[in-house]
Structure 1
Amino acid sequence: MGELKIKDKQIVVPGEVLAEGMDYLPSAGTYRNENDILSNQIGLASVSGRVIKVIPLTGKYKPKRNDIVIGEVVNILMSGWIVDIGGPYSAMLTLKDASSSYIERGADLSQFYTYGDIIASEIVSVSKTKLIDLSMKGPGLKKLKGGRLIDVTSSKVPRIIGREGSMITMIKDSTKCRITVGQNGKVWISGNNVQDETKAVEAIMMVENESHSEGLTDKVKAFLEGK
């Protein structure tokens, strides 16, 4: 019979035993050593059913296929757009992945996306040399107009989104803001007024700063309700 040695959202350190026995399965940030599952980094333990993973508390964003990222168009080439998604690597949005409609070669690409545009896109491939290709073909992938863009620690993004989107949905519903969260630690917020946007920003920063706290959902709910 397996035994869980830690609590969900508990801070753990490298080498710490998270579970004993074969009933639990190791995932990201963990490894199995004979009968035990151990952490390989400092972070927050996350237990979902039988699966255990560790979310790092700090660390730079590591681009992965299928990640939704927010970036800024920084250059226009003959074949597409260069997008800054943060970190040491830029990404490429090619003509074929920029739109569901056909874009002819030689077209004025600035009519689609131009310098300074903020876009939400999906990573479709990451090469061994960290060449990143993006796509705008998918639900919610679009140019983000107006609003404000904030940076959060990318490792805190799962906590900001919440289990099955529960945390970010609560913030959206309470502030009536449109919010897009990028896996690269960029969050776009657009509300009906500055006050609503500011409240959404403060709630998101609360989640980032207190991501290891117990009862965080109740704290954020109380803040949003002005209690």
Structure 2
Amino acid sequence: MTGLIMNERDIVVPGEKIASGMDYLPGNGTFREGEDIYSSQLGLVGVNGRFVKVIPLTGKYTPREGDIVVGKVVDVGFGMWNVDIGSAYSAILNMRETSEFIDRGADLSHYYDFNDVVIAQVTKVVRYKDVNLTMKGQGLRKVKGGKIIDVTPSKVPRIIGKQGSMIKMIKEGTGCNIVVGQNGKVWIKGERIEDEVKATEVILKIEQESHTQGLTDTIKNILEGKGK
């Protein structure tokens, strides 16, 4: 069989065959071997005329089962919602995976509407394409107000700290409710805008200086008004 083997915006891994035959030409992130074109990196397939390329997923969140994520509803479908979790593909929240009882045929936007922010858990990942979510579990819910900031997903463990020590200190120092998603999205809500700004500045500082020694003391001093 000749032609495209993968579809546009499919996720491919290094060495995965994208096209067969000489009708297509290798672009960025791909290479030809014989008559076949393969991916040279993890990314999304892109097709521009006869050129095939792979767009790298650097910085994108790679979902894993069990992850707690902060997401935003981007579409209301039949019996489900599409939720943006910062991955290459929107995640799916089925109506059966909510904490509410929802009658068949009900208007789902009455429960979760466009741009609603949810704290959910990843229950299933199929080759990083199909991501299923649940709202059944402790702390999983729709949140209102506040703000969302984005951090590099790989820096999340440093922001949370050992046994949650860092994020606990930030919550106590700012008085804010904070949820740090494994997907690098952080929901912050305080009594005052100033509190949210302070929490935001501290979290972004941790992201930028996660590799430095004495960071915990630095953050503690900032929260106590003793440093910058």
Length-normalised TM-score, structure 1: 0.72
Structure 1 unpaired stretches of 5+: 1-57
SS in 2 for 1:202: helix
**8 A contact 1:76–1:109 mirrored in 2:** yes
Deviations 1:126-157 (A, max 9, x none): 01252000000111111110001100001000
Match of 2:137 in 1: 138
Q: Is the 8 A contact 1:119 1:143 kept in 2?
A: yes
CA–CA separation in structure 2 for the residues paired with 1:209 and 1:191: 23
Match of 1:148 in 2: 147
Contact 2:63 2:128 survives alignment (8 Å): no
Aligned length: 169
Tell me by how many angstroms 1:83 deviates: 0.5
Partner AA of 1:168 in structure 2: I
Over 3 Å counting, the alpha-carbon distance change for 1:129 and 1:59 in structure 2 is: closer
Residue aligning to 1:82: 82
Conserved 8 A contact 1:81-1:94: yes
CA displacement 1:51-72 (0-9 Å, x = unmatched): xxxxxxx742110000011111
Answer with 1 or 2: which has the greater Rg: 2
Q: 1:37-56 counterparts in 2 under 5 A? A: none
Equivalent position amino acid for 2:120 in 1 = S
Distance 2:128 2:149 in 1: 28
Residue 98 of structure 1 is matched in structure 2 by: 98
Q: Is the 8 A contact 1:151 1:185 kept in 2?
A: yes
Q: Residue 137 of structure 2: SS of its match in structure 1?
A: coil
- How far has the Cα of 1:108 moved from its partner? 1.0
1:73 aligns with 2:70: no
| RMSD (Å), alpha carbons | 1.1
State the Cα distance separating 1:103 from its structure 2 match: 1.3
8 Å CA contact 2:156, 2:184 repeated in 1: yes
What is the CA–CA distance in structure 2 between the aligned matches of 1:128 and 1:87, rounded to whole Å?
A: 12
Question: Mapping of 1:108-187 within 5 angstroms?
Answer: 108-128=107-127, 130-187=129-186
Q: Which runs of 5+ in 2 are unaligned?
A: 1-57
Give the CA deviation at 1:78.
1.2
Shift of 1:79: 1.4
By how many angstroms is 1:199 displaced? 0.6
* Alpha-carbon distance between aligned partners in 2 of 1:163 and 1:61, rounded to the nearest angstrom: 22
Instruction: Give 4+ residue runs of structure 1 displaced > 3 Å after superposition.
Output: none
